[in-house]
């Protein structure tokens, strides 16, 4: 019974969690997190009561130190830390112990490959307009918000597929068509980092066969690919370098201990404003936009936990990659996953999503399972088991109380609606929150009320998108046209009109709008304008073929 629970539970967060995150509203997502928060420690308790001795290795010690330091930075953060950040931290710890206690490492390649195939099918359905998409500018993001996050999943799934084909001798008639689907989905995702991660991952895997030719060839391929990917969107690359520059300034203001967990989002925009005020003539002032991500998790961790946290985190990765085992096939697979994941850590923000925190934790824990050099062994007696049980029960109780408070807060907000329905500020925030949580049907009456008491271009755009998601095309057209008339200098209403024409199948109007957007002169050419123009060019090129 215990073994079945240990094997089946990873399905929840490796395959199901990315899908559930977009299928549910905010309450549903809270329930999913609460389920993880309760089920993981419950399984751990069952396992602990069947365990007499725990063997601790170097990776375990480093992970424990990082967790303790993270808890310290949560308590003594310069910015108030929300419960969701703390809960992700604790769920990651549970996941690490869970993988270390259970024999689930052999199932990970199957789970990742199956999950990737589901994402691949989702991408294809989005491409042909059979499923909704979750990004304003890209329609092929799978069940994720951005192409970067989809790219992480697909690239790791492709590595898993090749591993299953080469080492597990799985049927070529099943594996290769699925890998072809994954490659095409990755191409549609337009994730640049994913291709770099693939080559790095395969380079690590080919070390198993001591194929030095491939390793030597992969270095110039990586350099050429990096140069080519830069030429695709040079402004985007420059923008990220600029973000890294601002982020390093935040890091340097408290380099030893950092500013605390969850502090980066609160500190970035003021730091950007201060930097631009000192360098008003900088080329970065043209492309600067609202941003809350470092686009580099090492810098992000350094800003929030300082050099101490950064050294601990980097040491965990280095020790994991240097783990030696007689089971060379499996260990090189996990090292391939980790090296590919590290590529995303350098250029994206995977730790912003619970799923990728758990996936990274799982990879590290699986590699730790191959490190048989124990530093110490701890005997688990009755007293220790009782103490651990009490700690876990208290932890779960706190999570339930927080969840109950969240539900009560939602009810209070709904109950306040009759009184505050004439308040433009309240209605704006309420409608925007519903929209951000993909609750389009609930958001429409709120945003319609906003349009009656305090109409503005931005809210009309959001209302139009809600109509579009609900397939109320005539009302969406009216909203976007009104927004376009209100502020003629904005490009977004035109882009929304283009999306509307595409969804309704009116290619002639879509073509006219695309040409209008490309000829349209904007005040500032930022990353949003570049993305929109790029999509218009791709659309017009597809018509000419």
H/E segment holding residue 55:
strand 53-56
pLDDT of 352 strictly over 60:
yes
Domain hosting 36: range is 2-384
Cα separation, 512 vs 404, whole angstroms: 51
pLDDT (average), residues 332-359: 90
Whether 163 and 121 have beta carbons less than 8 Å apart is answered as no
Residue 456's pLDDT band, with cuts at 50, 70 and 90, is confident
Q: Convert the pLDDT of each residue in 170-218 to its tens digit.
A: 677 788 899 999 999 998 888 888 888 888 888 877 766 555 666 667 6
H/E segment holding residue 260:
none
Give the alpha-carbon dihedral of 483, 485, 490, 495, to 10 degrees.
60
Question: Closest by alpha carbon to 536, among 497, 482, 504, 505?
Answer: 497
Cα separation, 165 vs 169, whole angstroms: 5
pLDDT (average), residues 344-358: 88
Q: Convert the pLDDT of each residue in 41-90 to its tens digit.
A: 666 666 666 667 778 899 999 999 999 998 888 877 767 776 667 777 78
Q: Convert the pLDDT of each residue in 309-320 to its tens digit.
A: 999 999 999 999
pLDDT (average), residues 222-245: 75
108 within a domain of the structure (yes/no): yes
pLDDT score at 447: 87
Dmax (CA) for the chain in angstroms is 74
What is the dihedral sign for C-alpha 404, 406, 412, 415? negative
Percent of the chain with pLDDT over 70: 78
163 within a domain of the structure (yes/no): yes
CA 191 → CA 11, 154, 240, 320, 442, distances in Å?
A: 25, 10, 15, 26, 33
416 within a domain of the structure (yes/no): no
Whether 513 and 494 have beta carbons less than 8 Å apart is answered as yes
pTM passes above 0.75: yes
62-81: b or e for each residue (b if 16 or more CB lie within 10 Å)? Answer: bbebbbebbebbbeebeeeb
Residues in the chain: 545
Strand-pairing partners, residue 376, are 56
pLDDT of 28 strictly over 60:
no
pLDDT (average), residues 296-306: 94
CA 327 → CA 167, 198, 390, 485, 516, distances in Å?
A: 12, 23, 38, 66, 60
Q: Convert the pLDDT of each residue in 458-487 to its tens digit.
A: 888 899 999 998 889 999 999 999 988 887
pLDDT score at 1: 45
pLDDT score at 21: 59
What is the dihedral sign for C-alpha 51, 57, 59, 61? positive
pLDDT of 391 strictly over 80:
no
- Token couple for 208: 């198993």
pLDDT (average), residues 536-543: 85
269 within a domain of the structure (yes/no): yes
Same domain flag for 236 and 377: yes
Give the alpha-carbon dihedral of 147, 149, 154, 156, to 10 degrees.
150
Whether 148 and 191 have beta carbons less than 8 Å apart is answered as yes
Cα separation, 243 vs 268, whole angstroms: 9
Same domain flag for 441 and 500: yes
Domain harbouring 443, CATH code: 1.25.40.10
* 215 vs 444, residue with greater confidence: 444
394 within a domain of the structure (yes/no): no
Structural domains in the chain (count): 2
pLDDT score at 473: 92
For residue 513, count other CB atoms closer than 10 A to its CB. 23
Residue 2's pLDDT band, with cuts at 50, 70 and 90, is very low
Q: Which of 353, 384, 415 is the last residue of a domain?
A: 384
* 240 vs 247, residue with greater confidence: 247
pLDDT score at 22: 58
Lowest mean pLDDT among 3-7, 113-117, 281-285: 3-7
pLDDT of 283 strictly over 90:
no
Cα separation, 150 vs 147, whole angstroms: 5
pLDDT score at 120: 92
24 within a domain of the structure (yes/no): yes
Same domain flag for 267 and 347: yes
pLDDT of 114 strictly over 60:
yes
Cα separation, 340 vs 158, whole angstroms: 11
pLDDT (average), residues 231-256: 84
Write down the residue that tokens 């993988």 correspond to: 99
Same domain flag for 467 and 523: yes
pLDDT score at 319: 94
Whether 310 and 297 have beta carbons less than 8 Å apart is answered as no
Same domain flag for 290 and 427: no
Q: Convert the pLDDT of each residue in 407-417 to its tens digit.
A: 677 677 677 76
pLDDT score at 420: 66
Residue 545's pLDDT band, with cuts at 50, 70 and 90, is low
Question: If 0-12 CB within 10 Å is exposed, 13-18 middle and 19+ buried, where does residue 414 land?
Answer: exposed
* 402 vs 250, residue with greater confidence: 250
406 within a domain of the structure (yes/no): no
Same domain flag for 368 and 485: no
Whether 34 and 403 have beta carbons less than 8 Å apart is answered as yes
* 82 vs 433, residue with greater confidence: 433
Whether 337 and 155 have beta carbons less than 8 Å apart is answered as no
132 within a domain of the structure (yes/no): yes
Same domain flag for 126 and 233: yes
* 506 vs 94, residue with greater confidence: 506
Question: Closest by alpha carbon to 175, among 190, 157, 201, 149?
Answer: 157
pLDDT (average), residues 259-275: 87
Taking phi over 0 as left and psi of -120 to 50 as alpha, with beta for the rest, 340 belongs to alpha
Whether 422 and 39 have beta carbons less than 8 Å apart is answered as no
pLDDT (average), residues 437-447: 84
HSE, CB side, 13 Å, CA atoms: give it for residue 78.
Answer: 16
Same domain flag for 380 and 428: no
pLDDT score at 49: 65
Same domain flag for 268 and 329: yes
First vs last Cα of the chain: how many Å apart?
58
Same domain flag for 180 and 314: yes
pLDDT of 453 strictly over 70:
yes
């Amino acid at each position: 019974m215990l073994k079945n629970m240990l094997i089946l539970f990873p399905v929840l967060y490796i395959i199901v969690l990315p899908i559930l995150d977009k299928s549910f509203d905010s309450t549903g997502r809270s329930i999913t997190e609460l389920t993880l928060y309760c089920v993981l420690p419950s399984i751990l308790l069952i396992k602990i009561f069947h365990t007499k001795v725990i063997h601790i290795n170097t990776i375990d010690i480093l992970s424990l130190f990082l967790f303790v330091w993270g808890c310290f930075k949560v308590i003594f953060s310069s910015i108030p830390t929300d419960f969701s950040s703390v809960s992700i931290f604790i769920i990651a710890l549970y996941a690490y112990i869970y993988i270390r206690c259970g024999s689930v490492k052999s199932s990970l390649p199957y789970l990742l490959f199956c999950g990737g195939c589901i994402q691949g099918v989702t991408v294809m359905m989005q491409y042909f307009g059979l499923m909704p998409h979750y990004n304003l500018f890209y329609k092929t993001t799978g069940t994720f918000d951005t192409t970067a996050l989809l790219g992480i999943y697909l690239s790791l799934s492709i590595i898993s597929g090749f591993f299953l084909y080469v080492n597990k001798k799985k049927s070529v008639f099943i594996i290769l068509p699925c890998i072809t689907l994954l490659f095409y989905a990755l191409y549609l995702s337009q994730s640049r980092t994913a291709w770099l991660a693939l080559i790095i991952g395969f380079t690590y895997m080919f070390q198993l066969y001591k194929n030095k030719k491939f390793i030597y060839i992969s270095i110039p391929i990586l350099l050429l690919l990096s140069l080519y990917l830069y030429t695709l969107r040079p402004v985007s690359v420059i923008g990220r370098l600029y973000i890294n520059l601002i982020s390093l300034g935040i890091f340097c203001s408290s380099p030893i201990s950092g500013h605390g967990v969850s502090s980066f989002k609160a500190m970035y925009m003021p730091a950007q404003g201060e930097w631009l005020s000192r360098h008003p003539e900088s080329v970065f002032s043209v492309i600067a936009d609202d941003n809350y991500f470092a686009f580099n998790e090492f810098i992000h961790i350094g800003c929030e936990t300082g050099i101490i946290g950064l050294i601990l985190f980097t040491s965990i990765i280095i020790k994991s990659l240097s783990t030696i085992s007689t089971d060379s096939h499996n260990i090189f697979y996990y090292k391939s996953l980790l090296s590919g994941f590290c590529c995303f850590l350098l250029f994206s923000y995977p730790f912003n999503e619970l799923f990728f925190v758990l996936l990274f934790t799982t990879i590290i824990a699986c590699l730790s399972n191959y490190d048989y050099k124990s530093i110490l062994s701890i005997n688990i007696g009755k007293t220790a088991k009782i103490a651990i049980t009490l700690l876990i029960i208290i932890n779960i109780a706190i999570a339930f109380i927080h969840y109950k408070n969240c539900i009560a807060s939602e009810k209070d907000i709904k109950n306040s609606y009759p009184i505050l329905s004439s308040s433009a500020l309240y209605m704006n925030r309420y409608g925007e929150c519903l929209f951000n949580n993909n609750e389009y049907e609930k958001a429409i009456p709120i945003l319609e009320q906003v349009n009656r008491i305090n109409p503005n271009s931005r809210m009309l755009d959001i209302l139009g998108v809600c109509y579009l998601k609900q397939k109320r095309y005539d009302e969406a057209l009216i909203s976007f046209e009104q927004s376009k008339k209100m502020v003629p200098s904005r490009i977004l209403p035109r882009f929304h009109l283009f999306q509307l024409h595409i969804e309704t199948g009116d290619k002639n109007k879509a073509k006219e709008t695309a040409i209008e957007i490309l000829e349209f002169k904007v005040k500032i050419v930022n990353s949003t304008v570049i993305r929109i123009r790029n999509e218009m060019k791709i659309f017009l090129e597809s018509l000419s073929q």
